[in-house]
Structure 1
Amino acid sequence: MTEDEILLRNLELAVGLPAGWQALYRQLINDVAKVDGTTTVVQAKEKFGEMRVYLKTYSEPAFALTDAATARSRTLCQTCAKPAVLSRTTDGFHATVCPQHADGFAPAKFTPMRHVRVLIPRSR
């Protein structure tokens, strides 16, 4: 697969993300392509109110970019991309929403997930 084909395939995975994060994801994918054109995205989704992007291959520069984009997603409304805060409903559903889209949500007192990256060495 060429780098252009990888870029297009990675961009296609934006379909699973909320509208407010589409531009953030496209920027991330273009930035990742600049530092490592062979990095393939396995999955892109919303989880616990933040954008998650999972990569198939190890690339420290790409991981740094995805981590930064995940952090940025916690400041952009997932519906409209306006400034927002990570919020939750009383039954524990998390979303990053602006005041306009925050009906039923209150700001979360903590981030529901901690990120840990585990690298499993390939057996030879």
Structure 2
Amino acid sequence: MMVEVMTEEGKLNENLCWSIGLPEGWQPLYEGLIRKIFAVDASARVVDAKEKFGEMRVYMAEYDEAVFALIDVANAKSRTICQKCGGRAVLSRTADGFFATVCSNHADGFLPATSSPLRHVRMVVPKSDLWDPDRDDW
């Protein structure tokens, strides 16, 4: 049986492919984020990237504090970039509660949001090789 080893360039391109699921205005932000992540950890692997509650969300296969710090900065920055065109924008909301980050040119039906749609909570799941469900001392 032959095991195919992915090159660093292949890993980078695999992570960059997730940009297709993001609004067009955030794709350059995402691509820059992935290049920064790759410089910190070339083995990092994205498992999902999307818009949620008006901000860019990027989910990784493994926990790494340095990588998450980069993602946190990009998430915050996404709330200042129009998801349609990439221009300057603000987190906005429709009357029925839909959030988006849009510029004045794309804000039809939106008003600037007066509060965040949710509070961020980061949950760390222990690596499986360290976690034993039969132990009570964790």
- State how far apart, in whole Å, the 2-side matches of 1:94 and 1:88 are: 4
- State how far apart, in whole Å, the 1-side matches of 2:34 and 2:49 are: 11
Paired residue for 1:18, among 19, 23, 27? Answer: 23
Q: CA deviation at 1:63?
A: 0.4
- State how far apart, in whole Å, the 2-side matches of 1:113 and 1:39 are: 27
Q: CA deviation at 1:77?
A: 0.3
Name the TM-score, length of structure 2 as normaliser.
0.87
Counterpart AA for 2:30: Y
User: Could you tell me the percent identity over the aligned residues?
Assistant: 57
Counterpart AA for 2:40: V
Question: Which 4+ residue blocks in structure 1 deviate beyond 6 angstroms?
Answer: none
- State how far apart, in whole Å, the 2-side matches of 1:109 and 1:99 are: 16
Secondary structure of the equivalent of 1:61? helix
Counterpart AA for 1:3: E
The corresponding residue for 2:125 is: 120
Q: CA deviation at 1:58?
A: 1.1
Pairs within 5 Å for 1:1-124: 1-121=6-126, 122=128, 123=131
Per-residue CA distance 1:54-104 (angstroms, 9 max, x = gap): 011111111000110000000000001111000000000000000000000
- State how far apart, in whole Å, the 1-side matches of 2:19 and 2:69 are: 19
- State how far apart, in whole Å, the 1-side matches of 2:80 and 2:125 are: 31
Name the TM-score, length of structure 1 as normaliser.
0.96
Per-residue CA distance 1:3-34 (angstroms, 9 max, x = gap): 32221100001000000001000000000000
- State how far apart, in whole Å, the 2-side matches of 1:47 and 1:120 are: 22
Name which structure has the greater RCO, CA cutoff 8 Å, separation 6+: 1
How many corresponding residue pairs? 124
Q: CA deviation at 1:120?
A: 1.7
Counterpart AA for 1:50: E
